[in-house]
Amino acid sequence: MVMSVWRDLAEVPEGLRTVVTIGNFDGVHRGHQQLIRMCSDLARKKDALAVAITFFPHPVQVHAPQRNLKLITTLVDRLDALAGYGIDATLVLNYNEALYLQTPREFIANISKALGVQGIVVGEDMKFGAGNSGNISTLRSLGGEFGFDVVALPDIVDETGTRWSSSWVRELLEEGEVAEAARVLGRPHRIRGVVKHGHKRGRELGFPTANLEEDCDGVIPADGVYAGWLTRQVADAPAGVFLPAAISVGTNPQFDGVHRTVEAHVLGRSDLDLYGEKIAVSFVKRLRGMKKFASVDELLQQMDEDIRDSASVLGVAVAGRVDPEAVTAG
């Protein structure tokens, strides 16, 4: 079944019975996934739809724009993940003044009436309503008033006692710990952006790259070289075509660059023309930090090693440098 997406309460069909989970769900990490599973399980028991309520833009982007918060996942990826983990429908509420000034009772009354809420599944630290004045006790009281059950999930922690959270994922990405971030997310972290023209030094060296600027969607990990995947969206492959890649993040210190970019070299391919195409880049493992080498020859030796290491990490055949004359991109 294809997940329904509603952008306003007015779009919600009448006569529904739902079990709801509420949150920003940035990253849809394993803590979120547990909430979703509990929501879905309770919905099945109540013969109801499992519905996620999420917000766009993120509240921090509205209340504290100076923090320049970048979302871990785009809204598109967030919706895809919610659908993949068992949500039947998602209500995306515009996080604006009309919404965030609602009292806790007004907010719950509105969604309860529109969605026919039979149950709400949330983390036990949930805050909602104007000034975050509502908490789980408030929600339980409102559940008694409006006739729905409340299930509160305690914080989910890993074996070290660290709480699964979007903040933790961001910290790991800022440190370049993409493999650990993938463990928290339950999948490799990815960003999206449009491929732009660069200096074309990569192709001259035998490593043509698809270049994304720093303004792409998603949190860019720390500078360094990574093994990962470049994904293209094509008509006959709805899930995308995954191509193994060695990925460089940084300012290209070898050539005294100043602009931070993401450059993905698809292993062994010289026939890709991706300019102007929106792609996704997924990060599987950090291979090394970024550095300036004593010579271009030394850099090339390291890049040869990088693509061998990437192939090993990704479980694909090793490919060497490509012939610069064979590169077909414009």
pLDDT digits (tens, 9 = 90+) for 139-183: 999 999 999 999 999 988 888 888 999 999 999 999 999 999 999
Q: Which residues are catalytic?
A: 263
Query: Could you read off the pLDDT of 18-68 as tens digits, one per residue?
Result: 999 999 999 999 999 999 999 999 999 999 999 999 999 999 999 999 999
Beta-bridged to residue 167, according to DSSP, are: none
Q: What values do phi and psi take at 151, rounded to 5? A: -115, 120
pTM: 0.90
Low-confidence ranges of the chain (pLDDT < 70): 1, 199-200, 202, 235, 238, 254-257, 329-330
Distance CA 78, CA 105 (A): 27
Q: What values do phi and psi take at 295, rounded to 5? A: -155, 165
Q: What is the pLDDT of residue 329?
A: 64
- Classify the phi-psi angles of 182: left when phi > 0, otherwise alpha if psi is within -120 to 50, otherwise beta: alpha
